[in-house]
């Protein structure tokens, strides 16, 4: 339930194709052959319909959507139905695509919404090269997956995302490295001063403690508050106040903001996993699925 609450809040965020043809519903799916196809798709996605509430009622929509979706691996012809095999067959991304459809159907998403998400995640767009120069990161430097988070200290959804990210980091373990980039939105007047404070703390090796302080006190980000937090995390407050006004600190926040605009991000928080923009629902299972896919693709290279 805790993760569900996070999802509900994160769906909105702080905000700076053609619809598919109508398809038969699961209740209209009477062809035993199509039911066999649906069961094979569940097997490819490593989802047990007998142990997943509601799974037996989505067979028809699952088969229809998978027939409409092209195989998500370059050089592999046919539909998702054709390339989805247990263990992935010739397409390493196919099980993840089927699993994404199954999750959407179980959430009662409209087929058009699922179709749009699939195009965002599995379409032909190449991963972005995300600049993390100067960004604070945690997790193994050689981790196969890097998740870059663009965030705003005054955005309430970003505060919720901190808790979500902590759970994801714990679950992903050594597979994941997380890097933070600043995107203080203009609609949040204290977001930029908070971002400057975080960079100033980073110069003294205290970014993450300051990050936690700022998000934990997002409604109290006045100049006096920032100085109190600097002292609380053990900073040299005289140096902190000098750095806070320095061109070096301002340049880092400006560079992060420029990168968010270059990537054409739509709002905060924004997550890029090995260069792919996280477009699915922001739940722990969805994040872990994206991380598993990114790690598998990295290993294949």
pLDDT, tens digit, 9 for 90 and up, residues 225-244:
999 999 999 999 999 999 99
Cβ–Cβ under 8 Å, residues 41 and 69: no
Place of tokens 């679950």: 171
Instruction: Count CB neighbours of 98 within 10 A.
Output: 27
Beta bridge partners of 137: 179
Q: What is the mean pLDDT of residues 265-294?
A: 94
Look up residue 148 and give its DSSP letter.
Answer: E
Cβ–Cβ under 8 Å, residues 111 and 20: yes
Structure tokens at 96: 């993840």
- Share of residues in the chain with pLDDT > 70 (%): 88
Write down the pLDDT at residue 31. 60
Nearby residues of 96 by Cβ (< 8 Å), 6 or more positions away? 72, 289, 292, 293
> Could you tell me which residue, 181 or 6, shows the higher pLDDT?
181
> Could you tell me which residue, 1 or 137, shows the higher pLDDT?
137
26 backbone φψ class: left, alpha, beta (φ>0; ψ -120 to 50):
alpha
Domain ranges of the chain: 18-125, 137-271
pLDDT at 151 over 90: yes
Q: Across the chain, how many H-helices and E-strands are there?
A: 13, 7
Query: The pTM is what?
Result: 0.86
At the second CATH level, the architecture of 137-271 is: 3-Layer(aba) Sandwich (3.40)
Calculate Rg over the CA atoms of the chain. Answer: 22
pLDDT at 9 over 50: no
Structure tokens at 21: 């043809």
């Amino acid at each position: 339930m805790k993760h569900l609450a996070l999802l509900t809040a994160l769906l909105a965020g702080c905000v700076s194709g053609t619809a598919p043809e109508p398809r038969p519903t699961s209740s209209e799916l009477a062809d035993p052959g199509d039911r066999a196809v649906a069961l094979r798709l569940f097997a490819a996605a490593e989802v047990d319909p007998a142990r997943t509430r509601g799974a037996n009622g989505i067979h028809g929509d699952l088969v229809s959507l998978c027939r409409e979706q092209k195989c998500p691996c370059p050089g592999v012809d046919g539909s998702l139905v054709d390339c989805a095999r247990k263990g992935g067959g010739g397409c390493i991304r196919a099980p993840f695509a089927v699993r994404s459809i199954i999750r959407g159907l179980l959430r009662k998403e409209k087929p058009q919404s699922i179709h749009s998400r699939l195009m965002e995640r599995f379409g032909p767009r190449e991963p972005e090269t995300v600049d993390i120069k100067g960004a604070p990161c945690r997790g193994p430097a050689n981790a196969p997956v890097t998740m870059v988070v663009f965030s705003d200290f005054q955005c309430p959804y970003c505060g919720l995302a901190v808790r979500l990210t902590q759970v994801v980091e714990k679950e992903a373990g050594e597979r994941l490295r997380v890097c933070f980039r600043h995107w203080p939105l203009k609609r949040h007047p204290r977001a930029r001063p908070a971002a400057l404070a975080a960079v100033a703390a980073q110069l003294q090796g205290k970014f993450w403690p300051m990050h936690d302080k700022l998000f934990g006190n997002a409604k109290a980000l006045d100049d006096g508050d920032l100085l109190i937090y600097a002292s609380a995390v053990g900073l040299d407050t005289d140096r902190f106040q000098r750095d806070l006004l320095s061109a070096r600190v301002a340049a880092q926040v400006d560079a992060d903001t420029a990168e968010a605009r270059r990537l054409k991000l739509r709002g905060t928080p924004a997550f890029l996993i090995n260069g792919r923009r996280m477009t699915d629902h922001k739940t722990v299972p969805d994040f872990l699925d994206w991380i598993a896919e990114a790690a598998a693709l990295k290993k294949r290279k």
